[in-house]
Chain A
Amino acid sequence: MRVALFVTCVNDAVFPSTGVATVRLLERLGVTVDFPAAQSCCGQPQFNTGYRTETEPLVRRTVRAFEGYDHVVTPSGSCAAMVRHHYPSFGTEAGALAPRVHELTEFLVDVLGVTDVGAYFPHRVTYHPSCHGLRLLGLGERPRRLLEAVKGLELVELPGAEECCGFGGTFAVKNPDVSAAMGADKITNALSTGAEVLCGADNSCLLHVGGMLRRQDAPLRALHIAEILASTEEEPWA
């Protein structure tokens, strides 16, 4: 199977390792991955801040970049949700892209039909289901089922898992105090699990929570689920 990788702008610039992990994981599962270089940002930050007109060129660019692919895979729940939920309001062509875009865990479980991806990650992990993946995409148990099948991985329940971490795109900048208070509670819950890794399927949220963890020198690091699933006994992920 041939798929296009929609790496997303945040992953491209800040978390390329998530893109690399996604490529290695998909290739290991026998998928041929293309990276259409014309891709950029899906337009979510502009759209959610209320700048619809400014979103339009990015929607057009994204639609063009992924023309001709039946499956577009992205390691980001919120960018997938942007395309799935909001692109149809930008016209027929944009609407046609919506069902072809899959968030990574959704693609693995629903399209490839696998939950055991042959990964090895001998650590205690807790999972934060980011809001857009949770509520807009309805990822449900997919990420957990994938993690549970990882050899050596001990999955521990995150208290208050379904509560927002406080990132919310420009919300973190426009309402810094509330955002930080939400992030602090998320971290307290995550630390209470004794996990070494806080796993998520959205690096935007992990940028926020991870940044707070680093500021506190907490004994917990934030890691994208793709990097855990890409890790094997032969080639363990750092």
Chain B
Amino acid sequence: MPAFPEAAREAVGNPTLRANLRHATHTIRDKRARAVAELDDWAALRETGKRIKDRTLRQLDTYLLQLEEAVTAAGGTVHWAADAAEANRIVTELVRATGETEVVKVKSMATQEIGLNEHLAAEGIAAYETDLAELIVQLGDDRPSHILVPAIHRNRGEIRDIFREKMGSWGRPAPEGLSDAPAELAEAARLHLREKFLRAKVGISGANFMVAETGTLVVVESEGNGRMCLTLPETLISVVGVEKVVPTWQDLEVFLQTLPRSSTAERMNPYTSMWTGTTDGDGPGTFHLVLLDNGRTDALADEVGRQALRCIRCSACLNVCPVYERAGGHAYGSVYPGPIGAILTPQLRGTASEVDASLPYASSLCGACYEVCPVAIDIPEVLVHLRGKVAEEGGKGHRLERAAIKASTWVLDHPGVLATGERLASATRKLHPKRLPGPGARQWTESRDLPELPAEPFRDWWRKNRT
């Protein structure tokens, strides 16, 4: 995966992608603003959500143990996974134990994060994504590019082509003469998926929330595929990040208001499914919960960065981000794109790789993400904090950059030298070319003219005219 600037360059140069992203993000951001404006207590809800998450994260161990106890008491089994490899191994063994070779999935970012589908495929188990956008991504042998709308980078025509070409090789083929009308595309997906829902014996899910006091898991969704995956199979395996726990049902109430409005601009999402262990003769007879760490406790140890764990995956920050809008989700090189991905991914994975080290810089720090975040994650603050860490580690280019910054600080801290430099630049201004070589200047003058420098700096004007 290339660093963000290189990956983004490709997206910026793709007019179809830019048009798709622009249309989709602008539509949803306007709808979100209207949905949020309907509530006169939005600011209070946001503050409360932030506090609940912070309080929970401070005593995460306590609530997780409470959750484990409640899930076990309700007939479920809890597994703890320190990293992706352990989580994948646990899930594979659980599926194997059922004797099945295929599973249906409701969209789950945690399983994408650990690469579960690929791991299962390598073990001879087919995992079928059932969320419409995930289905499009899976059939297209593509990667998700948005938290909520993983196929946001595709338009209707592209989706029709994918359905026509690929559905047949995964199961029921697309109907003859399929057009790009939304209703026809939805019906094709419905028919294709129904076959899988009715056959599957194992379901795999994530969860938006886990309620510690009762051991209840919650999935909110819009299509009903989640409810199918959660109720029809005999065995249900839920893979959930440890930060998704909330202490009580009363806490949950806050997020069930803020999440749908922030993400889909709906007052309430169409399906809210909740399950607590197992119930005889109703739903899956076997339930496993895999609690995933995978870098989360490392993030928790970072005083500034830990606020990223408040995230409820609404994607409002993506939809409002001018950088995401141009660069697209793939440029972030992770299942978590956009502003939240730029702070979450380097914390979960570290900054050893080029793409992870470039993520904290993938922002103009405009602050629009912070403004819309329903749990008030100060993303710009964390970005700057992580830049400090990356610069400290001194990876590629940063030793040179630090030297340049040190030099500039020295000059700026010596106004006499600074003034001399300014005078020199002004005196030679007629000689300055419009395009410059060298790092920084070249990038700048590729698309912009440098301003014509003034005849004299302000300091000199002041000395001549006011002293």
On A, residues with C-beta under 8 Å from B are: 7, 9, 11-17, 19-20, 23, 33, 35, 37-41, 43, 45-52, 54-55, 57-58, 61, 131-132, 135-136, 162-164, 166-184, 207-208, 210-212, 214-215
The answer to whether A7 touches B5, judged by C-beta atoms less than 8 angstroms apart, is no
The answer to whether B384 touches A48, judged by C-beta atoms less than 8 angstroms apart, is yes
The answer to whether A135 touches B368, judged by C-beta atoms less than 8 angstroms apart, is yes
A170: B residues at CB distance < 8 A: 361
The answer to whether B5 touches A174, judged by C-beta atoms less than 8 angstroms apart, is yes
Among candidates A9, A17, A40, A164, residue contacting B322 with C-beta atoms closer than 8 Å = A164
On B, residues with C-beta under 8 Å from A are: 4-5, 8-9, 12-13, 18, 322-323, 326-327, 360-368, 370-371, 384, 386-392, 401-402, 405-406, 408-409, 412-413, 415, 418, 422, 425, 439-440, 443-444, 446-451, 453-454, 456-459, 461-462, 466
The answer to whether A14 touches B451, judged by C-beta atoms less than 8 angstroms apart, is yes
A20-B458, A211-B448 are known contacts. Are A171 and B365 too (CB-CB below 8 A)? yes
A39-B415, A131-B365, A164-B368 are known contacts. Are A50 and B384 too (CB-CB below 8 A)? yes
The answer to whether B447 touches A176, judged by C-beta atoms less than 8 angstroms apart, is yes
Q: Chain B: interface secondary structure? A: helix
A214: B residues at CB distance < 8 A: 448-449, 451
B448: A residues at CB distance < 8 A: 180, 183, 208, 211-212, 214-215
Chain A min CB distance to B87 (Å): 32
The answer to whether A181 touches B458, judged by C-beta atoms less than 8 angstroms apart, is no
A46: B residues at CB distance < 8 A: 405, 408-409
The answer to whether B402 touches A51, judged by C-beta atoms less than 8 angstroms apart, is yes
17 A-B residue pairs with Cβ-Cβ distance under 8 Å, sorted by A, are A20-B461, A23-B462, A40-B413, A40-B415, A49-B401, A54-B402, A58-B412, A61-B412, A131-B365, A166-B364, A168-B363, A175-B4, A176-B444, A178-B326, A181-B326, A208-B448, A212-B448
B366: A residues at CB distance < 8 A: 131, 135, 163-164, 168
A20: B residues at CB distance < 8 A: 458, 461
Which of A16, A57, A214, A215 has most B Cβ within 10 Å? Answer: A16
B456: A residues at CB distance < 8 A: 16
Q: In the complex the two chains form, what is the Cα distance from A41 to B322 in whole Å?
A: 28
The answer to whether A177 touches B401, judged by C-beta atoms less than 8 angstroms apart, is no
Among candidates B9, B391, B418, residue contacting A40 with C-beta atoms closer than 8 Å = B418
The answer to whether A50 touches B360, judged by C-beta atoms less than 8 angstroms apart, is yes
Smallest CB-CB separation from B370: which chain A residue?
A135
B454: A residues at CB distance < 8 A: 14-17
The answer to whether B388 touches A52, judged by C-beta atoms less than 8 angstroms apart, is yes
Which of A7, A170, A178, A183 has most B Cβ within 10 Å? Answer: A178
Among candidates B8, B364, B406, B458, residue contacting A177 with C-beta atoms closer than 8 Å = B8
A47: B residues at CB distance < 8 A: 384
Chain A min CB distance to B396 (Å): 12
B363: A residues at CB distance < 8 A: 168, 171
With A131-B366, A163-B322, A178-B8 given, can you name 13 additional A-B contacts, CB distance below 8 Å? A9-B412, A20-B458, A45-B408, A50-B392, A52-B388, A55-B409, A132-B367, A169-B364, A171-B363, A177-B9, A178-B327, A211-B444, A214-B448
Q: In the complex the two chains form, what is the Cα distance from A133 to B326 in whole Å?
A: 23
A208: B residues at CB distance < 8 A: 448
